[in-house]
Amino acid sequence: MLEVNNLFCERDERILFDKLHFEIKAGEVLQIEGQNGSGKTTLLRILSGLLDAFEGDILWQKKPLDEVRESYYQAMLYVGHLAGVKAALSPEENLAWMMRLSPHLNKLTIVQALEKVGLYGFEDVPCHTLSAGQQRRVGLARLYLSSAPLWILDEPFTALDKKGVAEKEALIAEHVNMGGMVILTTHHELNIPNQSLRSFNLDDKKGAR
C-alpha cells in the first residue's frame, strides 16, 4: 500500500496542491486528473523520488518513505511523459542499459518485450531513426520487463496509435488483476474495469496558506 497524507507543494510561488490525501492498494488503478499545469507531473515525480520540494508524509507499507526508500525503489517503476530513451542507442541497447540500473527489470527477455510493443525487427536501429510513437514504445517496453508491483506512469498513451493504446490498457488491467498497483495521469478515457479504477482531480486540491 502507498499512502499520501497532507501533501503540500508550491512551485514558483503558486500552490499546486495542498492537504492532499490518497492511498492505493493492490489491485487498484488511480488516475490523477487535472488541467495542464495543475501539478500532475510534479506529483508523480514526488512519488517517484525525483523531487523533494514538498511537505507532508508518504508511507510505503505503513512506514515513512525515508525509512524504506531502498525497498520502495525496488518495488516501483516510473515511466515519465517523455520517451526516456537515448537517441544514439538502439532499442535493445536502451533496454539493456535500463535493466542494469533496475535489477527488477527481468521478467522477459529484451527481444520478447520489444516484440510485444510492436518493434520486432527494429531491435538494432538507432532510436533517432524511429518515429515518436515507436520511441515511446521503447520506453513502455519496460512494463513488460518489470516485476515491480507499483507502476507510476505519466501520460503513458502519448504518441501511441489506437492499437498501442488498447495494448497498454490491457497490460495495465492484467497487472492490477495480478495484484499490482498503477498510478497514472492521462487525458484519455480509460477502458479498464471500473471496479479497479479510482480517480481524483488535482484542480480540486488547491488551497492557500
What's the pTM value of the predicted model, to 2 decimals? 0.91
**All cell numbers assigned to 67:** 525509512
Tens-digit pLDDT profile for residues 63-111: 999 999 999 999 999 999 888 899 999 999 999 888 777 766 665 788 8
Closest CA to 181 of 86, 54, 75, 109: 75
Judged by DSSP in three states, 152 sits in strand
Mean pLDDT of 169-196: 91
> φ and ψ at 190, to 5 degrees?
-70, 135
Tens-digit pLDDT profile for residues 158-181: 888 899 899 999 999 999 999 999
In the chain, what are the domains? 2-204 (3.40.50.300)
